[in-house]
């Protein structure tokens, strides 16, 4: 099992009930950032290798795959034989649109907050030992 997602050098940790500070106190101003919110990959038409029909796919760039090492393995495992590698090792990976939409909406990759909450969140982090700048 993978360790929980964390941010700010481990000061914020995602728990089943939301984001919490290292001391265990909840941080309700922080929200999950999903892959669907973070990535806007092109939508293309490709031939589904399992059916031979033309279908809507999401084209994931190699640069994005290189930035998030888990992205490739996770999304390909989720898509199964319907994933398509285009252009060889340095090309793109295409997954059916409906597969991507389900996977990406459930995949938390980070956190976010409202700009108006930033000063308070950073002040709390500093009170726990964070040093910015």
Domain ranges (residues) in the chain: 6-29+114-127, 40-106
Average pLDDT of the chain is 89
Distance from chain centroid for Cα 54: 27
Summarize the confidence of residues 88-102 as an average pLDDT: 86
Q: Of 10-19, 66-75, 87-96, which has the strongest mean pLDDT?
A: 10-19
Closest CA to 39 of 75, 15, 9, 6: 75
Share of the chain above pLDDT 70, in %: 97
Q: What share of the chain is helix, strand, coil (3-state, %, to 5)?
A: 40, 30, 30
pLDDT at 1: 64
pLDDT single digits (tens) 101-128? 999 998 898 999 999 999 999 999 999 9
pLDDT single digits (tens) 17-72? 999 999 999 999 999 999 999 889 999 999 988 889 999 999 988 777 777 777 77
This prediction has a pTM of 0.77
pLDDT at 86: 84
Spatial strand order of the sheet with 18-21 comes to 6-7, 12-15, 18-21
pLDDT single digits (tens) 77-86? 888 888 888 8
């Amino acid at each position: 099992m993978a360790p929980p997602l964390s941010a700010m050098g481990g000061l914020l940790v995602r728990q089943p009930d939301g984001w919490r500070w290292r001391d265990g106190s909840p941080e309700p101003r922080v929200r999950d950032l999903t892959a669907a919110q973070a990535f806007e990959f092109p939508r293309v038409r490709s031939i589904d290798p399992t059916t031979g029909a033309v279908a809507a796919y999401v084209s994931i760039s190699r640069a994005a795959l290189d930035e998030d090492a888990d992205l490739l393995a996770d999304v390909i495992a989720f898509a199964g034989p319907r994933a398509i590698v285009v252009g060889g090792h340095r090309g793109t990976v295409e997954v059916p649109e409906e597969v991507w939409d389900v996977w990406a909406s459930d995949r938390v990759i980070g956190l976010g907050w409202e700009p108006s909450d930033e000063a308070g969140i950073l002040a709390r982090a500093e009170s726990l030992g964070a040093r910015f700048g």
